[in-house]
Amino acid sequence: MLNKIYDAMMNGDIASIGQLTKDALDENIVPKTIIDDGLLRAMNEIGELFKNGELFVPEVLMRAQALNMSMQILEPLLKEGDIDKKGKIVMGTVKGDLHDIGKNLVILMLEGAGYEVIDLGVDVSEQKIIDAVKEHNPDFIAMSAMLTTTMVNMEKCIEAIKGEGLYDNLKVLVGGAPVTNTFAEKIGAYYSSDASSAVELANQLIAS
Ligand code: B12
């Protein structure tokens, strides 16, 4: 049954994933096992295929949608503490910027890898990020920018975080088409170029 769920994920089979999830529960497979050995096992593989250029954005989004459909059934059944979250991440697309496809992909991959992500959406002001940091006490802030005119808001945001004395307690991840490693280093952040390497970067940083 878990292999069927894995296969449905790998094929982006949104028509059958819901029923397969219910069938697995009927067979008394616990939600955590369905998630770990069915959904996330596939999502990790999908991340690798995407990274290697063997799957493209629409294909990944369809598989992510399948994961969400299954999770909608499983989430209410999960007990508190059932899933060990690796870390907490507050993420958004910076102020003035409405692009969210890349951000959403990064979030899906991070969630698939076991992180709790608080998605602040697009056009996110410095104040909104500061408020979210105070409320959620995350391990990371992750910011996305797709415009050369908005990537400067990443730096403004980091300065604002420093001003509030919050910078030393977390790490900042940045990404998006115009963002580079050199820019990230200059503003005091960590950079990765795509959703899969964002997971690898977060894993490295959380372990360090
Ligand atoms: C789709 C798109 C749009 C859509 C956005 C829809 C949406 N819901 O996101 C719409 C039509 C709304 C749009 C609008 C505009 N766009 Co536009 N858009 C694009 C386009 C074609 C694709 C972007 C995309 O989704 N790529 C696919 C995703 C998966 O890739 P990605 O975003 O790069 O994300 C990956 C990585 O960058 C990384 N990543 C992303 N974020 C993060 C964050 C972290 C922390 C990490 C670690 C990694 C990471 O991981 C992701 C997954 O692998 C790009 C062209 C391009 N090739 O990039 C132009 C592009 C970004 N847009 C551009 C422009 C100019 C605009 C507009 C100003 C156009 C206009 N005149 O109105 C407006 C701006 C609106 C605004 N205020 O934001 C320019 C930007 C030029 C520049 N250098 O500034 C581009 C490059 C097109 C071009 N060649 O001119 N756009």
Render pLDDT for 2-50 as a digit per residue (tens, 0 to 9).
999 999 999 999 999 999 999 999 999 998 889 889 988 898 898 889 8
Q: Are residues 29 and 59 located together in one domain of the fold?
A: yes
pLDDT at 157: 97
- Angstrom distance (rounded) from CA 63 to CA 91: 21
Residue 183 lies in a domain: yes
When pLDDT is cut at 50, 70 and 90, the band that residue 122 belongs to is very high
Query: CB neighbours of 190 closer than 8 A, spacing ≥ 6?
Result: 171, 172, 173, 174, 184, 201, 205
Contact call for residues 94 and 127 (beta carbons, < 8 A): no
Query: CB neighbours of 192 closer than 8 A, spacing ≥ 6?
Result: 173, 175, 198, 200, 201
**The last residue of a domain, from among 19, 53, 77:** 77
Q: Which domain holds residue 18?
A: 2-77
Residue 134 lies in a domain: yes
Q: Are residues 93 and 182 located together in one domain of the fold?
A: yes
Q: Are residues 105 and 20 located together in one domain of the fold?
A: no
pLDDT over 70 (residue 62): yes
Q: Are residues 114 and 153 located together in one domain of the fold?
A: yes
Q: Are residues 29 and 121 located together in one domain of the fold?
A: no
Q: Are residues 124 and 176 located together in one domain of the fold?
A: yes
Residue 109 lies in a domain: yes
Q: Which CATH number belongs to the domain containing residue 52 in this structure? A: 1.10.1240.10
Residue 156 lies in a domain: yes
Mean pLDDT estimate for the chain: 92
pLDDT at 81: 57
Residue 82 lies in a domain: no
- Angstrom distance (rounded) from CA 207 to CA 155: 25
Query: CB neighbours of 131 closer than 8 A, spacing ≥ 6?
Result: none
Residue 83 lies in a domain: no
Structure tokens at 162: 């420093």
Instruction: Tell me, using a 6 A CB cutoff, whether residue 173 lines ligand 1.
Output: yes
Eight-state DSSP code of residue 96:
T
From 134, 135, 179, 137, select the one nearest 155 (Cα to Cα): 179
Structure tokens at 198: 């964002």
Q: Are residues 55 and 106 located together in one domain of the fold?
A: no
**The last residue of a domain, from among 56, 77, 98:** 77
DSSP helix/strand/coil, 144? strand
Q: Are residues 99 and 185 located together in one domain of the fold?
A: yes
> Using CA of residue 157, residue 159, residue 164, residue 169, what is the dihedral sign?
positive
Q: Are residues 116 and 166 located together in one domain of the fold?
A: yes
Eight-state DSSP code of residue 34:
I
**The last residue of a domain, from among 77, 103, 119:** 77
Q: Are residues 68 and 15 located together in one domain of the fold?
A: yes
Structure tokens at 111: 């969630």
- Angstrom distance (rounded) from CA 112 to CA 64: 9
Instruction: Tell me, using a 6 A CB cutoff, whether residue 99 lines ligand 1.
Output: yes
Cα 102 to averaged position of ligand 1 atoms, centre (Å): 8
pTM of the predicted model, to two decimals?
A: 0.84
Q: For residue 145, how many C-alpha atoms fall within 13 Å in the half-sphere facing its CB?
A: 25
Q: Are residues 106 and 128 located together in one domain of the fold?
A: yes
Cα 21 to averaged position of ligand 1 atoms, centre (Å): 34
Residue 150 lies in a domain: yes
Instruction: Tell me, using a 6 A CB cutoff, whether residue 175 lines ligand 1.
Output: yes
What is the residue with the minimal CA distance to atom 13 of ligand 1? 99
Tally of domains within the chain: 2
What is the residue with the minimal CA distance to atom 73 of ligand 1? 98
Q: Which CATH number belongs to the domain containing residue 177 in this structure? A: 3.40.50.280
Q: Are residues 118 and 171 located together in one domain of the fold?
A: yes
pLDDT over 80 (residue 78): no
pLDDT at 79: 65
What is the residue with the minimal CA distance to atom 68 of ligand 1? 147
pLDDT at 35: 84
Instruction: Tell me, using a 6 A CB cutoff, whether residue 178 lines ligand 1.
Output: yes
Instruction: Tell me, using a 6 A CB cutoff, whether residue 142 lines ligand 1.
Output: yes
Instruction: Tell me, using a 6 A CB cutoff, whether residue 200 lines ligand 1.
Output: no
Instruction: Tell me, using a 6 A CB cutoff, whether residue 104 lines ligand 1.
Output: no
pLDDT over 80 (residue 61): yes
- Kindly report the backbone phi and psi dihedral angles of residue 72, in degrees, each rounded to the nearest multiple of 5, phi listed first: -60, -35
Instruction: Tell me, using a 6 A CB cutoff, whether residue 42 lines ligand 1.
Output: no
From 157, 185, 44, select the one nearest 110 (Cα to Cα): 44
pLDDT over 90 (residue 76): no
